[in-house]
Chain A
Amino acid sequence: MPRKREHHFWRTAAECVAGLIALALITFVCFHARITVPTPTFLYLIVIVLLSLRGSFISSAVVSFAAVGCLDYFFVRPLFSFEVGDPIDLVAVIAFLTTSAVITQLVSRVRNLMQEKLERSETYLAEAQQLSHSGSFGWKVATGEISWSAETFRIFKFDQTKKPTMGLIFQRIHPEDAAFVKRAVETATQEAKDFQFEHRLLLPDGSVKYINVVAHAETNNAGALEFMGAVMDVTERKRAEDSLHDAQANLARIARLTTMGELTASIAHEVNQPLAAVVTNANACLRWLDRESPDLDEARDAIRRIIRDGNRGSEVIARIRAILNKETKPKEWLDINAVVRETIALTRVYLRDASLQTDLSPVLPVVLADRVELQQVLLNLMVNAIDAMKTVTDRPRVLRLQTESSDGGFILVVVQDSGIGLDQNQMDQIFEVFYTTKPQGMGMGLSISRSIIDSHGGRLWAEANDGSGAIFKFTLPVAEGGAA
């Protein structure tokens, strides 16, 4: 960089001139005041030390030699000559020269060391920021002065020559998030509080970035508010989260298909039953019409039943389709009892091997939940319960479903069976992926059920039944402000 070198040269020249002027001044004053050798010597040393602290090695070296010259010429006898008469004076001159050289060297070395350390830590910081995709910033609220680190510039995709301003930042914030960010920042400045939020950036190339902003508020002695914080690019994490979520949804779907597979007979029955009724009613209707004196009332009744049963059949199919091809739908306000009843309707035939007892509390608040996901959890627990009772012959096979209000704003759902039960070991393991007690099991159902309930802010766990069998319980938080 020739330009930098030139700049360096002029700077050194200026330092030399300044140092020499200082020497001249000291020499002039000391000479006319007839001050003896030690004083100007020390004053010269002070100039040299200051120059080495502030300036370059070259300028301090030049000034050092000049100082030796001045000392010899003006203060060491014979005056006005570079000769040294007294050998003692020679020692003094050499001592001065050595001292100044050592000081210059030492200061220069310390400075270089510090410079290097500073540069290295700056490099580290910049690299760390780049690696962690986090940039730092400072913001003096009163003056509106904003400072960014290189990584912050990179995150916002601005050139480092630009001066960061609020306007510049809002150029990048996703239009859909702008209002929210504005509100959050305003609140933080008004209350002088730390803030943290996540929002999107819409970059000029049309790509979207997710960033996490954290800032710490500090008020200085003068009462001026300043924020210092970090901007983190969390796009990759967000993408990973999204794909994890997709993978989980797919897994849940596979598990759902498996469960539905176990229920094929039950489902076929549910569809076939109204179909059979439709066909029989249609035949009956024809016969009522074909009589010698057609019975229109009976025929009409039969047709009404055809309509009713046809609708019932299509409802069953819609319900099955909803479970099989679940689309990501927003959560809705749900009456948990209705969800339980719908699930029973799908499993009726499967449940026939056991007697079903329901104890559904009539006064339950609504929950904000995903209908199909809750059905999946219930299906899973009910199928497990029936499977656990298949080999039971010495006692009644009872499946009990219960809903009730629970403490702390939760609804409790209980699925209890009189099957083979679980020992303590199994109780700990059943929720792990790929752990199964069934010969044909995948070991997915319960782990998926648990993650579904977790994502609803509830809890799913197992308990031993007092007599025999197992109890599965899950809670769901009651929707705020929602009442049945």
Chain B
Amino acid sequence: MKSSVKTAGKIVKPIVFVVDDDSSVREALSSLIRSIDLSVETFSSAREFLQHKRPDIPACLVLDVRLPGLSGLDLQRELATPKNDIPIIFITGHGDVPMTVRAMKAGAVEFLTKPFRDQELLDAIQQAIERDRELLKRRSETAMLNALYQTLTPREREVMGLVVRGLLNKQIAGELGTSEITVKIQRGQAMKKMKAQSVPGLVRISEKLGHFNQS
């Protein structure tokens, strides 16, 4: 499995974050993960990890469930925002079923009980990194579309909003109190700026921007 990505012509290794309060376990995990050519950064607590600035490369988190202070499951909840989302592999000394269910329901990639088979962990890590790569792609696409959206004038945004709701030019003009011809021009501008070839294309873009989620 190829795990490197090309960014600005330079090969950047995906990064695996490890959070465990036991230094022996941290060191062992770090060595194992580095042996398959991935970068590793280790943290002894959830707080320490939260303070760390995440680089914009595919990454995943190997997380001990039982941590002093903020627990692994607490950290998972903290990270469950579109901005901070990162695939999580849980490891635990003794996982009980409810705990596993909770973690998996909240979107964990895998839940492993120590001591685990190395291949199991490494497979889970690869899977998590792939998932993050997708997330990253979607995130950068969204970021790009957002940038394009910012170039629209307020009136063009209004027109675009009404277009994707399926209104005709005439109806839009009525809604906004302008002429049909003005709407037609503004609509053309918005399509051009958003790089949409067709109305369905504009609808998809709008979806990606999350405009439908709000209404």
Binding site for B on A (CB under 8 A): 265, 268-269, 272-281, 283-285, 287-288, 291, 295, 298, 301-302, 305, 308-309, 312, 349, 352, 355
What is the CB-to-nearest-CB distance from B91 to chain A, in angstroms, rounded to a whole number? 8
Report how far A254 CA is from B131 CA in the complex, Å. 53
**Are the C-beta atoms of A305 and B24 separated by less than 8 Å?**
yes
- Contact bitstring B22-61, A, C-beta under 8 A = 1, else 0: 1011011101101110000000000000000000000000
What is the CB-to-nearest-CB distance from B141 to chain A, in angstroms, rounded to a whole number? 35
What is the CB-to-nearest-CB distance from B28 to chain A, in angstroms, rounded to a whole number? 4
Option from A268, A277, A287 in Cβ contact (under 8 Å) with B36: A287
Report how far A308 CA is from B115 CA in the complex, Å. 17
**Could you tell me the dominant secondary structure of chain B's interface residues?**
loop
Report how far A279 CA is from B116 CA in the complex, Å. 8
Given contacts A284-B31, A298-B35, whether A273 and B93 have CB atoms under 8 Å apart is: yes
**Are the C-beta atoms of B35 and A280 separated by less than 8 Å?**
no
**Are the C-beta atoms of B31 and A281 separated by less than 8 Å?**
yes
Given contact pairs A273-B22, A276-B25, A355-B69, enumerate 9 new A-B contacts (beta carbons under 8 Å).
A268-B93, A276-B93, A277-B25, A280-B28, A280-B115, A280-B118, A287-B118, A291-B35, A295-B35
| B210 CB-CB contact with A under 8 Å | no
| B94 CB-CB contact with A under 8 Å | yes
- Interface residue total, chain B, C-beta cutoff 8 A: 20
Report how far A279 CA is from B69 CA in the complex, Å. 27
What is the CB-to-nearest-CB distance from A276 to chain B, in angstroms, rounded to a whole number? 4
Question: For B114, what are the chain A residues with a Cβ–Cβ distance below 8 Å?
Answer: 272-273, 275-276
What is the CB-to-nearest-CB distance from A263 to chain B, in angstroms, rounded to a whole number? 14
Most buried by B among A274, A284, A349: A284
What is the CB-to-nearest-CB distance from A398 to chain B, in angstroms, rounded to a whole number? 13
- Contact bitstring B50-93, A, C-beta under 8 A = 1, else 0: 00000000000000001011000000000000000000000001
**Are the C-beta atoms of A309 and B115 separated by less than 8 Å?**
no
**Could you tell me the dominant secondary structure of chain A's interface residues?**
helix
Question: For B116, what are the chain A residues with a Cβ–Cβ distance below 8 Å?
Answer: 276
Binding site for A on B (CB under 8 A): 22, 24-25, 27-29, 31-32, 34-36, 66, 68-69, 93-94, 114-116, 118
Question: For B29, what are the chain A residues with a Cβ–Cβ distance below 8 Å?
Answer: 280
Report how far A283 CA is from B120 CA in the complex, Å. 12
Given contacts A277-B27, A287-B118, A291-B35, whether A272 and B66 have CB atoms under 8 Å apart is: no
Question: For B22, what are the chain A residues with a Cβ–Cβ distance below 8 Å?
Answer: 273, 277
**Are the C-beta atoms of A277 and B24 separated by less than 8 Å?**
yes
**Are the C-beta atoms of A283 and B118 separated by less than 8 Å?**
yes
Given contacts A265-B94, A272-B115, whether A298 and B31 have CB atoms under 8 Å apart is: yes
What are some 24 contacts across the A-B interface (CB < 8 A)? A269-B93, A272-B94, A272-B114, A273-B114, A274-B24, A275-B115, A276-B93, A276-B114, A278-B115, A279-B115, A281-B31, A281-B32, A283-B32, A284-B31, A284-B32, A284-B34, A287-B32, A287-B35, A291-B35, A298-B31, A298-B35, A302-B28, A308-B24, A352-B68
Report how far A265 CA is from B93 CA in the complex, Å. 9
What is the CB-to-nearest-CB distance from A310 to chain B, in angstroms, rounded to a whole number? 10
Question: For A277, what are the chain B residues with a Cβ–Cβ distance below 8 Å?
Answer: 22, 24-25, 27-28
Question: For A269, what are the chain B residues with a Cβ–Cβ distance below 8 Å?
Answer: 66, 93-94
Question: For B34, what are the chain A residues with a Cβ–Cβ distance below 8 Å?
Answer: 284, 298
Report how far A21 CA is from B32 CA in the complex, Å. 126
Question: For A309, what are the chain B residues with a Cβ–Cβ distance below 8 Å?
Answer: 24, 28
Question: For A298, what are the chain B residues with a Cβ–Cβ distance below 8 Å?
Answer: 31, 34-35
What is the CB-to-nearest-CB distance from B122 to chain A, in angstroms, rounded to a whole number? 9
Option from A285, A287, A305 in Cβ contact (under 8 Å) with B27: A305
Question: For B27, what are the chain A residues with a Cβ–Cβ distance below 8 Å?
Answer: 277, 281, 305
**Are the C-beta atoms of B35 and A284 separated by less than 8 Å?**
yes
Question: For A283, what are the chain B residues with a Cβ–Cβ distance below 8 Å?
Answer: 32, 118
Residue ID in chain B nearest A313 by CB atoms: B24
**Are the C-beta atoms of B24 and A273 separated by less than 8 Å?**
yes
**Are the C-beta atoms of B28 and A281 separated by less than 8 Å?**
yes
Question: For A302, what are the chain B residues with a Cβ–Cβ distance below 8 Å?
Answer: 28, 31
Question: For A352, what are the chain B residues with a Cβ–Cβ distance below 8 Å?
Answer: 66, 68
Report how far A279 CA is from B28 CA in the complex, Å. 9
Report how far A272 CA is from B36 CA in the complex, Å. 25
Most buried by B among A272, A275, A276: A276
